[in-house]
DNA sequence: TCCAACATGGAAAGCGCTTTCCAAGTTTCA
DNA sequence: TGAAACTTGGAAAGCGCTTTCCATGTTGGA
């Protein structure tokens, strides 16, 4: 129904080939007067090239697929923002899929497979996986991706997951978690609990390993480790479970150093603080809390959340950069920095502080 | 490079037509044994249909374009989440574009045009505009969209903007703002300032009009109205400007009812609170603050923000529903509800309250 | 002045599908 | 038993582009 190149060509009194050369970047460029005529015709008819047809003819689509877990989660939306930025510069469009909504059987796992399959079907030039599940556990997904790569597609995973032939944006989850705990211990904390998040997500796993590793080195170990979703609700529930297990109640002054909750990400940490509040516990006076990511949301949050700061947008940019870069570039790496705020580990606010 | 239908057909010893009928839903379905053979061949060769080619042949792409301002903004990411959900159900993929990154000349306006043009080029079955700018101001955009609609594309705008032939998800911004102010005045507040957000965004404009309209009816008017970006930073800066203009300082007890800042959206409201905090002002004791949207982020925010609650995800779902529904369905409407929390208008916490 | 060397527009062959016709084979029923 | 009415698989014509290859027309040099 829309105007096509043939009509434009006829309207301009030139051949299809010429019209194509004028309108859609080619090595050869027709004479000035012809160029002018064709452009005028296109403008007049309101011609907009059919990207599908171009994709078919050029065998490249200008599409990049991004699969996240939950676009409404600040972690993922920040990354998505970064991806968009680079995609825009590279004149690519981004196809977005979320896995939290579930696929055929309602699981994120099936959703991820469905998303990847769809992207492959649309022949996206690259696929960025920000979901960070263990791909080894999903042979079907892995096989599809491998074939996709063999056929010239590019795959970038964010996090430590690796699949053969895929590029990877390595994130210092383990080291960051370790650094964070080191800083907290140094500030005088010694009693920790861990909200470990979902076990199947390797970012969560790496962070938890970092936490425990750092504790071990100091001869400490977490009082409790509880799982839960990577969400505010997950953090909330896990925290209630935690403080009930430990029998923590408001007003009970103890001689020990305050308890510190290590959450596998900021969103959980915020849920944790809400949970503490609901029980009348003060942060950081009664219980301290630390997160991971430094999501943009924290800018307006009080008390300031101690966390490990990751350059989320930059991660999106880097991932997209890898996705659109030549074959040869295979890896990028990001690290972050410990940021101590009021919620945990800042000596000035610790009970026994100045 | 990937396996195509021809190869599958040959491998199965059938014609191209038959293979197509077996693999990609057709009215006619070949005999069971043939069906089996073709499926086996496809499976063995790892065939994945080329969606671009299908789109060309079927003249429908299974794509829906979503243009937001900033995907990292909780307002937009919540909407995007809702859109995704419905798109998934309808077996559509979503193409995402953000306008905050700017287009050719760096403005959101050019970015919006670029995004829409790209979507038209990819022949998305529908375009959802969540950006809510005044389209009347952009004749080029409007013309493109009209043509797109004429060619069978569907356009949905969220907010009050309307373009000929487009469907619209009407949001009760004006009424909501009015209700919110009514509730606040009823609770005893009478001194208001407005953070109006960006003037070119009609959601902002409608809300501000709602605020002022409600005030007028009560014979009140805002002490100050300041603009600013629809962002935390925007709210922060606007608030500082505000309190400096009014000469508000911490510790100055006044006999008047407390000042209430009406922000055009929650994100600005949060920025406002941060600004107040930075000046040592307490919310709600010294200054009160109300927002608009009830973004999910607020769940963990303290003090609870008074706001007008909009069903953001549902809005995304409705918009996508309109986008994928038959021609005949032209409009949906959502309303929200005033939610008073600690930050403003809750009598129990007002200085002169119980 | 003539031919080689180049520039330039167009015809046509795909790219990977869908879908309309056709032709041939099967049923059905009078 | 024969014709009408279905089925069913396949050939081929697109869908809207890009790009190779040709056939011209020009230009330049000797």
pLDDT at A94 over 90: yes
pLDDT at B153 over 50: yes
* Mutation target vs B (from A68, A78, A84, A311; most B CBs, 10 A cutoff): A84
pLDDT at B182 over 90: yes
User: Which of 117-136 (B) contact A at CB < 8 A?
Assistant: 117-118, 120-123
* Mutation target vs A (from B3, B48, B342; most A CBs, 10 A cutoff): B48
B309/B293 Cα distance (integer angstroms): 5
Find the range with the poorest average confidence among A272-281, B212-221, B340-349: B340-349
Tell me how many residue pairs between chain A and chain B have CB atoms under 8 A apart: 150
Instruction: Please write down the HEC assignment for all residues of chain A.
Output: CCCCHHHHHHHHCCCHHHHHHHHCCCCCCCCHHHHHHHHHHHHHHCCCCCHHHHHHHHCCCCEEEEEECCCCCHHHHHHHHHHHHHHHHCCCEEEEEECCCCCCCCCHHHHHHHHHHHHHHCCCCEEEECCCECHHHCHHHHHHHHHHHHCCCEEEEECCCCCCCCEEEEECHHHHHHHHHHHHHHCCCCEEEEECCCCCEHHHHHHHHHHHHHHHHCCCCCCEEECCCCCHHHHHHHHHHHHHHHCCCCCCCCCCCCEEEEECCHHHHHHHHHHHHHCCCCCCCCEEEECCECCHHHHHCCCCCEEEECCHHHHHHHHHHHHHCCCCCCEEEECCEEECCCCCCCHHHCCCCC
For chain A, the average pLDDT equals 89
User: Which of 195-254 (A) contact B at CB < 8 A?
Assistant: 232
Find the range with the poorest average confidence among A49-63, A187-201, A230-244, B96-110: B96-110
**A1 with B151: Cβ contact below 8 A:** yes
Q: What is the reported pLDDT for B347?
A: 61
> For the domain B173-310+336-349, what is the CATH superfamily, name and number?
Response regulator (3.40.50.2300)
Minimum CA–CA partner of B271 in chain A: A300
Q: What is the reported pLDDT for B2?
A: 86
Q: What are the extents of the domains in chain A?
A: 5-49, 61-171+328-333, 173-310+337-349
Please tell me which residue lies nearest to nucleotide D13, judged from CA to C1': B57
- Count Cβ atoms below 10 Å from residue B207 Cβ, excluding itself: 28
**A165 or A176: which leads in pLDDT:** A176
User: Average pLDDT, stretch A172-180?
Assistant: 96
Find the range with the poorest average confidence among B200-204, B235-239, B266-270, B336-340: B200-204
User: Average pLDDT, stretch A17-31?
Assistant: 80
The confidence band for A349, taking pLDDT boundaries of 50, 70 and 90, is very low
DSSP secondary structure string for all residues of B50-63:
-HHHHHHHHT---E
pLDDT at B196 over 90: yes
Find the range with the poorest average confidence among A97-101, B146-150, B156-160: B156-160
pLDDT digits (tens, 9 = 90+) for A258-311: 899 999 999 999 999 999 999 999 888 899 999 999 999 999 999 999 999 999
The confidence band for B165, taking pLDDT boundaries of 50, 70 and 90, is confident
**B52 with A61: Cβ contact below 8 A:** yes
DSSP 8-state class, residue B65? E
The confidence band for B354, taking pLDDT boundaries of 50, 70 and 90, is very low
Which CATH number does A173-310+337-349 carry? 3.40.50.2300
Domains B62-171+328-333 and B173-310+336-349 in one fold: yes
With a pLDDT cut of 70, the percent of chain B lying above it is 95
User: Average pLDDT, stretch B45-52?
Assistant: 93
pLDDT at A255 over 70: no
Q: What is the reported pLDDT for B271?
A: 97
With a pLDDT cut of 90, the percent of chain B lying above it is 62
Which residues have CB under 7 A from strand C? A 13-18, 28, 30-31, 34, 53, 56-57, 59; B 1-2, 4-6, 16-17, 20-21, 23-24, 26, 47, 49-50, 53-54, 56-58
**B352 or A253: which leads in pLDDT:** A253
B78/A38 Cα distance (integer angstroms): 44
Torsion of CA A19, A24, A27, A28, to 10 degrees: 20
A132/A321 Cα distance (integer angstroms): 18
Using CA atoms, how far residue A167 sits from A52, A201, A328, B316, in Å, is 27, 19, 10, 33
User: Average pLDDT, stretch A20-34?
Assistant: 77
Q: What is the reported pLDDT for B138?
A: 82
For chain B, the average pLDDT equals 89
d(CA A203, nearest CA chain B) in Å: 21
* Mutation target vs A (from B45, B49, B51, B76; most A CBs, 10 A cutoff): B51
Q: Which of B46, B101, B152 sits opposite A147 (nearest CB)?
A: B46
Which CATH number does A61-171+328-333 carry? 3.40.50.2300
B16 contacts chain A (CB < 8 A)? no
B93 contacts chain A (CB < 8 A)? yes
- Cβ neighbors of B91 (< 8 A, separation 6 or more) are B62
The confidence band for A35, taking pLDDT boundaries of 50, 70 and 90, is confident
φ and ψ at A172, to 5 degrees?
-75, 60
**B56 with A56: Cβ contact below 8 A:** yes
The confidence band for B131, taking pLDDT boundaries of 50, 70 and 90, is confident
B204 contacts B190 by C-beta, under 8 angstroms: no
Q: What is the reported pLDDT for B179?
A: 96
User: Average pLDDT, stretch A106-117?
Assistant: 88
**A137 or B187: which leads in pLDDT:** B187
User: Average pLDDT, stretch A148-153?
Assistant: 92
Please tell me which residue lies nearest to nucleotide C12, judged from CA to C1': A17
User: Average pLDDT, stretch B320-346?
Assistant: 89
Q: Which residues of chain B have a CB within 8 Å of the CB of A77?
A: 71-74, 77
Find the range with the poorest average confidence among A201-205, A308-312, B208-212: A201-205
Q: Which fold has domain B62-171+328-333?
A: Rossmann fold (3.40.50)
With a pLDDT cut of 90, the percent of chain A lying above it is 62
Q: What is the reported pLDDT for B107?
A: 83
User: Average pLDDT, stretch A215-237?
Assistant: 93
**A101 with B85: Cβ contact below 8 A:** yes
**A131 or A180: which leads in pLDDT:** A180
pLDDT at B3 over 50: yes
The confidence band for A325, taking pLDDT boundaries of 50, 70 and 90, is confident
pLDDT at B349 over 60: no
A316/A87 Cα distance (integer angstroms): 10
pLDDT at A352 over 50: no
User: Average pLDDT, stretch B112-123?
Assistant: 95
**B122 or B159: which leads in pLDDT:** B122
């Amino acid at each position: 129904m829309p105007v096509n190149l043939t009509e434009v060509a006829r309207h301009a009194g030139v051949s299809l080939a010429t019209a194509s050369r004028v309108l859609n970047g080619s090595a050869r460029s027709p004479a000035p007067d012809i160029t002018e005529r064709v452009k005028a015709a296109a403008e007049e008819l309101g011609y907009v090239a059919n990207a599908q047809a171009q994709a078919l003819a050029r065998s490249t689509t200008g599409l990049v697929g991004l699969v996240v877990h939950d676009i409404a989660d600040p972690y993922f939306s920040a990354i998505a923002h970064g991806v968009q930025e680079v995609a825009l510069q590279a004149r690519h469009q981004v196809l977005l899929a979320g896995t939290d909504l579930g696929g055929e059987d309602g699981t994120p796992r099936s959703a991820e497979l469905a998303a990847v399959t769809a992207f492959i079907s649309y022949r996206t030039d690259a696929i960025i996986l920000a979901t960070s599940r263990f791909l080894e556990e999903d042979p079907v997904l892995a096989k599809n991706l491998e074939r996709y790569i063999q056929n010239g597609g590019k795959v970038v995973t964010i996090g430590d997951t690796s699949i053969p032939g895929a590029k990877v944006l390595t994130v210092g989850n383990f080291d960051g978690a370790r650094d964070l705990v080191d800083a907290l211990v140094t500030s005088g904390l010694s009693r920790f609990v861990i909200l470990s998040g979902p076990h199947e997500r390797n970012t969560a796993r790496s962070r938890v390993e970092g936490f425990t590793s750092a504790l071990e080195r100091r001869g400490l170990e977490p009082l409790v480790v509880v799982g839960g979703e990577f969400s505010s609700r997950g953090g909330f529930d896990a925290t209630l479970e935690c403080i009930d297990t430990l029998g923590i109640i408001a007003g009970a002054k103890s001689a020990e150093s305050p308890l510190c909750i290590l959450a596998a990400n900021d969103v959980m940490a915020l849920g944790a603080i809400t949970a503490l509040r609901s029980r009348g516990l003060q942060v950081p006076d009664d219980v301290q809390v630390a997160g991971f990511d430094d999501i943009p949301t924290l800018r307006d949050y009080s008390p300031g959340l101690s966390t490990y700061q990751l350059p989320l947008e930059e991660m999106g940019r880097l991932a997209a950069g890898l996705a659109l870069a030549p074959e040869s570039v295979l890896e990028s790496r990001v690290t972050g920095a410990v940021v101590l705020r009021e919620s945990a580990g800042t000596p000035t606010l610790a009970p026994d502080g100045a």
